[in-house]
Structure 1
Amino acid sequence: MLNIKHNLCALDRALRGIIAIALLSYVIFFGEQIGDVLLQAAILIFAVLNLISFFLGWCPVYQVANISTCRKK
C-alpha cells in the first residue's frame, strides 16, 4: 500500500470530487460543444487528476509547494 501523508482536508477533497465529476460529465456528454480535441483531453486529464487526489487525499502540487489543508495535531 502507498505510504503517503495526506495533505487535503475533507472540504478540499469534497470540492475536488465535485469538480472532477462535473468536468468528466461535461466532457463525456457535451464534448462536441468544446470542439477542440486537445482542449477536451486537457480537461479530461485535469478531471482525472482531481479524482485521484480526491480518493488518495494527497495532492502532488501541494506536496511540492509544501502546502497542507489538514489540521496539525
Structure 2
Amino acid sequence: MGLSELLEIFTLQILWIFPCFRLLVSLLPLVFLLLARLFDLGLSSPYPASFRCLGTNLDLIHHVHISVSDHDP
C-alpha cells in the first residue's frame, strides 16, 4: 500500500466523517432541549426548563433586576 493509497483512504474518511460531524453538532441543541424536558422537575419559573437544568439561578437574577429597576432615580 503506497502513500497515495493511504492518502486517498484518509481523504475519503474525512469527507465521510465531516458531514456526519456537522449533522451531530447541528442536532446538539435539540438533544439538549429534549434532555432538559425529560429532567424537568416541574419547578415554577418564568424561564425554560433548559436554563433550570443548567443549574443557573435565573429567578434570583430576575428578582435582583426587578428590585434595581424599581429604584430608578
- In the superposition, the TM-score normalised over structure 1's length comes to 0.29
Q: Which structure ranks higher in relative contact order (CA pairs < 8 Å, sequence separation ≥ 6)?
A: 1
- In the superposition, the TM-score normalised over structure 2's length comes to 0.29
**Higher helix fraction: Structure 1 or Structure 2?**
2
Instruction: Work out which of the two has the higher radius of gyration on C-alpha atoms and give 1 or 2.
Output: 2
